[in-house]
Amino acid sequence: MREERADMAAEPTTEVPPKADVPVVILCGGMGTRIREASEKLPKPLIDIGGKPILWHIMKTYEAAGFRRFILCLGYKGDLIRRFFLDYGKFERDFTVRLGGGDEAVDWHGHTPSEDWEVTLVETGLLTGTGARVKRVRQYLDQPFYMMTYGDGIGNVDLDALYRQHVASGKIGTVTGVHPTSRFGEMHVDGDEVTEFNEKPTMADGWVSGGFFGFRREMVDTYLDDDPDLLLEKKPLQTLAADGQMGVYRHDGFWMGMDTYRDWTELNQLWDTDRAPWKVWS
């Protein structure tokens, strides 16, 4: 069976389809239980950094690399994400409303939003696993490649380089590898003396998934199914790696997942002090 799946991989190609046509799948359905202080009122992708949802920050990093088509897999409080895009830009513009005399009329003033995005919002179930969520948007994956990420992690990943490496590799999947970051202070000790203390060091050894992926369309048809318990991170990616069909794009720069209230506070501090490494757009 493994050999049959491996045989289905496309031949390597150096042809790179235009990024503007490539769908970017963003998983937006989780409950965010570890950041409950904010996620009880909002879905995690709408929790703000500097007044804008983290989802917006993620989409801006893709836009800066040339991507503009987004497919959002909705679940927990998905209606709020729908409303955000239906009302996109309205709450940042001035307007005049004329009341009385029949239907009210609204005149909008100022510039319309500059984002040239095509956003498809898909209900994929409240408790659906990440693998099944991707399977349930398969009808919108109309290109030979698609990108994928989560709605709670950001970084200054070179998404253009990730895409090009993935296409050239001929593999079905490519994952961005990042160095794990310790949540505890690291000490260098000499006898009974601490010679160096780092509050939250980046560990030089080892790689973990940074959650930014490139996939061929075959991933959806061959490795995923509609079982609502299917987690992408378990059998699908484990099998893909066992089949020799998973590449890695190494990222040594900034990456951070917004998993806890502390993470949210740190990301806002970086943004508020104009030190946000992920702000790769003008």
Q: What is the pLDDT of residues 34-77, one digit of tens each?
A: 665 555 788 999 999 999 999 999 999 999 999 999 999 999 99
The predicted structure's pLDDT at residue 282: 87
Helix-then-strand count for the chain, H and E? 9, 15
**What's the token pair of residue 129?**
């696993």
Q: Is 51 left (phi over 0), alpha (psi -120 to 50) or beta?
A: left
Query: What distance separates the 2 farthest-apart alpha carbons in the chain?
Result: 84
Q: What is the mean pLDDT of residues 156-183?
A: 92
- Identify which of 41, 11, 68 has the alpha carbon closest to the alpha carbon of residue 281: 68
Give the 3-state secondary structure percentages of the chain, helix then strand then coil, rounded to 5. Answer: 30, 25, 40
Nearest-angstrom CA–CA distance, 127 and 124: 9
Q: Pick the range with the lowest mean pLDDT from 197-211, 234-248, 256-270.
A: 197-211
Q: Poorest-confidence range of 10-24, 129-143, 189-203, 229-243?
A: 189-203
pLDDT tier at 1 (50, 70, 90 boundaries)? very low
Give the whole-angstrom CA distance, residue 222 versus residue 30: 24
- What is the side-by-side order of every strand in the sheet holding 118-123? 118-123, 69-74, 23-28, 145-150, 208-216, 173-178, 246-250
Which range (98-102, 225-229, 252-256) has the least confidence? 98-102
Percent of the chain with pLDDT over 90: 68
Residue 41's pLDDT is: 82
pLDDT at 167 over 70: yes
Task: State the residue for tokens 């009341």.
Answer: 99
